[in-house]
Structure 1
Amino acid sequence: MMPRHPRRATALIALAAAAAVLAPVPAASDPAPPPPTPAAPPRTASAWLPYWDQEAAYATALRHADQLHTVSPFWYETKAAGRVDPHLHAADRRVVDGLHGAGIKVVPTVMERMPRGALADVVTDAGRRATHIETLLSVVKSRDYDGLDLDYETIAPTGDAAYEKVRDGYATLVTDLCGQLHALRKQCVVTVSPKTAGTGRVWDYKRLGAAADRLRVMAYNLHWAEGAPGPLSTPAWYDEILRRATADVPVDKLEMGLPAYGWDWAVGSRGRARHVTSKEAEALRRKVGAPYHLDPASGTPHFTYAEGGTRRTVWYQDARGTAAHLPVLRRYGVRHTVLWALGFEDPELWQTLATL
């Protein structure tokens, strides 16, 4: 059968042939197009920067900038509703600019060690709360900071008669502060102790998590300096912490606080244990010739040694121990961690955190 328009068909065939002749033929030596650049892995870690070892901590932050999205220099201390004092080396512009240059947000920590009941008086009084918020805002405006981290711990042991009022007052303080920080396009971060069956009732996780950009849970000191020797954390304890936290706070707002330190107790003594960084603990273990042992129940390294006539025991955390804890975080979908503290850690820890 002949086509209905033979001339049109002939013209189209001729055009196609001409196009084929004119089309460029790639030379055999032309390089293949480069493969697409893979996306950089997300930064999932934050860390506190101790002012008393600032240079080493700052250098550590820069070495691991590809994993750190936020650094919180431990720079400020609340003394009263209208007074927030800087620590030594606070507000170092070189550090702020250097961290920003590495793509890391700078969210300094404001902590407090106020006398018993003093912080409770601030958070439960509307006028004092307002004064304190204005004081905190003046801190965040004083430098090119990206926000504030509030680490207020003296209210944690509030007694039965007052804890509900203090809990509500603190949640109101945080809600109001976060609202004003957000108006300034600044981040609002809140650090809390773990909530378990027997601890943490003063923290209203639901209200704090709703107001803040991130809620940091200090998941360490299960055994601490003034108590009996033992691990700083365990997977079972992490499970209890996260079961409660994820019920009240979106997982993408949670940061699980990981220890990079330990305690060195005199066995049988009621004295306070010595603080050791993870690096110091491992160096001590090697010095005294103690074998490395990872406690199977807690996933925590520990060893004993003799000093004079005293038997001492050290529990600390390292990369292998942290690796034993991370499956709990994965099970709850928590990908963000915050390290106490920069410069304390086992150098292998960063590779371990990259697997979360």
Structure 2
Amino acid sequence: MITAPVSRFARSLAGVVCLLAAALPANARAAGPPSAPAVPRTVSAWLPYWDQENAYQDALRHADQLHTVSPFWYKAAAADRIEGHPGAGDARIIGGLHRAGIDVVPTVMDMDTMKPGALAAVLTTPALREAHTAALVRLARSHGYDGIDLDYETIASTATPDYHRVRSAYAAFVTGLCAKLHALRKQCVVTVSPQTDTTGRIWDYAAIGRAADRMRIMAYDLHWSGGPPGPLSATSWYDGILRRATALVPAGRIEMALPGYGWDWPADGSGPARHVTWKQAEALRREVGAPYALDPESGTPHFTYQDGDVPRTVWYQDARGTAVQLAAVRKYGVRNTSLWALGFEDPGLWKVLAQQ
């Protein structure tokens, strides 16, 4: 089994402990009570490039809980080319996060960057897959990064004839990439969709769990912008996701990625939803005078209001809802969580996550 690279924070802390111990007289070191272990950092979070400064300051405020920040900075443009979003590779942000003891593991995504089927062709063609792996390794070695987070969500549909071939190819690609990153003492993180009886099957959880340091499950958008209104996540849904995931991947390698946002739909589902952060959702609720209501079945707050002649409904997530849903996460021994995304969330969420 591959051992995860030692974090920058752990290395720094170990060095400080050794220096302090050496400075004490031998009898003082021997006579004193054992030191209390440091509280482990159990949270990672994505940093959105479109709200970069706000998200960065949010990360610094919660550095004692964050082990990893993944700036949402890069996109796969071709087999041999990774392109950056605005602000990618910002040295000030990378340096500031490192000084705070946080590893920087940028995300590479594939949404809206390649023609349909292009990424599947890269994965299933050995020469193209090798070129893509090399491009990602080059990125990981740049800017002092601590690894790479792969967020490839449009690989193939379960309805295509190539589904099983692409699934196997992606597992082989992840296995090879993670091995090369580990040889450089870099982390390999893989972001996946929730796997249920009908969704998320493009990812071979068992193979990814063997290869990657952490597998991040995007446990949100149970109801999404293009569908009917409803909760973004639900306690029973989390239970089903983790029952399957922990049967295939050790709990210590799983991160449950939680929502810090919501959607604002036409109440009849007649159109797409508007994205709202927790702050925007709460401000709107207070503005329209809607009472706070936590759906007992899903563990998600929601409210309705009138926008001119159009009734609308908002489902979102806050600290109280997360506290309810985390019971299902604890049940399966998963302690590590991720947040989508920094700057979106209820500030009270951090206290809830500290108890996870």
TM-score by length of 1: 0.89
Q: Which moved more, 1:158-167 or 1:221-230?
A: 158-167
Q: Give the alignment's Cα RMSD to 1 decimal.
A: 1.2
- What is the identity, as a one-letter code, of the residue corresponding to 1:164? H
In structure 2, the CA distance between the partners of 1:139 and 1:349, relative to structure 1 (3 Å rule), is same
Give 1:261's aligned residue: 261
> Equivalences for 1:1-356 in 2 at 5 Å?
37-113=35-111, 114-155=114-155, 157-356=157-356
Structure 1 residue runs without a partner (length 5+)? 1-32
Question: Which SS does the other structure have where 2:70 is aligned?
Answer: strand
Q: Do the aligned residues in 1 keep the contact of 2:68 with 2:102 (CA within 8 Å)?
A: yes
Match of 2:326, SS? Answer: helix
Q: In 2, Cα distance between the equivalents of 1:279 and 1:39?
A: 35
Deviation at 1:158, TM superposition (A): 3.6
2:168 corresponds to which letter in structure 1? D
C-alpha separation between the residues in 1 aligned to 2:184 and 2:61? 30
Residue 271 of structure 1: how far off its partner (Å): 2.0
Structure 2 gap ranges (5+): 1-30
* Deviation of the 1:231 alpha carbon: 0.2
CA drift of 1:279 comes to 1.2
Query: 1:316 & 1:354 partners in 2: Cα distance?
Result: 21
Q: Report the alpha carbon displacement of residue 110 of structure 1 after superposing the two structures with TM.
A: 0.2
SS of residue paired to 2:221? coil
Please tell me the residue identity of whatever aligns with 2:90: D
Aligned equivalents of 1:201 and 1:163: distance in 2?
9
How far residue 312 of structure 1 moved from its aligned partner, in angstroms, is 0.5
Query: Within 1, Cα distance between the matches of 2:332 and 2:120?
Result: 33
SS at 1:311 equivalent: strand
Write the deviation string for residues 205-264 of structure 1: whole angstroms up to 9, x where unpaired. Answer: 000110000000000000000000000010100011001100110110000010000000
- Name the SS of the counterpart of 1:298 in structure 2: coil
**Percent identity for Structure 1 against Structure 2:** 64
Q: Is the 8 A contact 1:156 1:200 kept in 2?
A: no
> Do the aligned partners of 2:117 and 2:156 also contact (CA within 8 Å) in 1?
no
- Separation of aligned partners in 2, 1:349 and 1:156: 34
Shift of 1:156: 5.1
Distance 1:198 1:35, change over 3 A: same
CA distance in 1, matches of 2:138, 2:131: 11
1:159 deviates by 1.9
Does the Cα contact within 8 Å between 1:226 and 1:270 map onto a contact in 2? Answer: no
SS of equivalent to 2:339: strand
The structure with more radius of gyration:
1
Q: Paired residue for 2:19?
A: none
Deviations 1:266-307 (A, max 9, x none): 122432100001111111111111000000100000000011
SS for the counterpart of 1:216 is strand
Structure 2: distance between partners of 1:320 and 1:254: 23
Give how far 1:39 is off: 2.7
Name the SS for the 1:174 alignment partner: helix
Following superposition, the deviation at residue 35 of structure 1 comes to 6.5
| Contact 2:193/2:200, CA 8 A, preserved across alignment | yes
**Alpha-carbon separation, structure 2, partners of 1:66 and 1:317:** 23
Find the aligned partners of 1:123 and 1:107 in 2 and give their Cα distance: 22
